[in-house]
Amino acid sequence: MNVHADLSFVAMVANASIVVQAVMALLAALSLWSWWQIFQKLFQLSAAKRDADRFEDEFWKGGDLAELYQKASQSRNGGGLEHIFTAGFREFAKHRRQGSSSTLTLDAARRAMRAAFQREIDSLEAHLAGLASVGSVSPYGGLFGTVWGIMNAFRSLSNVAQATLAQVAPGIAEALVATAMGLFAAIPAVVAYNRYTHDVDRLATRYETFIEEFSNILQRQG
């Protein structure tokens, strides 16, 4: 490893060894992917909350359920609660037309709502595991790049008669950039994962509460 006087960030990345540069490139790619998922998930969860608020306001106005179902089933931009409602009411209406017992009708509606609930939660949780993986793996990737770079920095001094800190400092500085990049990729991913997991759990609780309340309404109608 050559000793370089320029310790700017670009110079340290350019002058790092091939292995360290590969680690940096991987960490940069993971960071870009995690930021893309962070913003996508932010917009998705914000839209899910707005849709839940809007549908709950409309549902609890006490209007005709059949009319609300027709409106919700024709909507292309419905949210999670709307999908759960349409799945449950569709199954409820189908079994009532077939003359099924009230118990069988209610059980079928609840199963349909549970299936729709699981699809909505799966959609909300998509890529959260990837954020968790970036948050847990990136620091170790950065540490690997740092260890490799420091090892090469000291190996470069093997043929030097008198080693000084000025000779080894640039190589160590280049290696430490990998650790910094690992932390830069990991910290936002961990923060976003914890925040979004909490938001998904709150939405799941709202969905489950709606399923129970709507089931009670269907039971009275049955």
Q: Give tens-digit pLDDT for 79-90.
A: 889 999 999 999
pTM for the full model? 0.83
Mean pLDDT computed over 209-217: 93
Convert the pLDDT of each residue in 141-200 to its tens digit: 999 988 988 887 777 776 666 666 666 777 777 788 889 999 999 999 999 999 999 999
Residue 181 covered by a domain = yes
Whether residue 121 is contained in a domain is answered as yes
Q: Is residue 86 part of a domain?
A: yes
| Alpha helices, H only, 60-155 | 65-74, 80-97, 102-125, 128-155
What are the tens digits of pLDDT across the range 97-138? 887 788 888 999 999 999 999 999 999 999 999 999 999 999
Assigned domain for 1 exists: no
3 domain-assigned:
no
Torsion sign, CA atoms 153, 158, 159, 161: positive
Half-sphere exposure of 82 (CA within 13 A, CB side): 23
When divided into structural domains, the chain yields a total of 1
Residues 204 and 212: their CA atoms lie apart, in Å, by 12
pLDDT band (50, 70, 90) for residue 2? very low
Asked if residue 204 is part of any domain, the answer here is yes
**Which pLDDT tens digit goes with each residue over 46-90?**
999 999 999 999 888 877 888 888 888 887 777 889 999 999 999
Q: Which pLDDT score is estimated for 21?
A: 87
Q: Does any domain span residue 173?
A: yes
Range of the domain at 189: 9-221
* pLDDT, position 222: 63
Q: How far apart are CA 84 and CA 81, in angstroms?
A: 5
Does residue 207 sit within a domain?
yes
Dihedral (C-alpha) 78, 80, 85, 91: value to the nearest 10 degrees?
A: 100
Residue 205 has pLDDT above 80, yes or no: yes
Q: Distance between CA 25 and CA 5 in Å, rounded?
A: 23
pLDDT of residue 7: 59
Q: What is the pLDDT, as a whole number, of residue 4?
A: 46
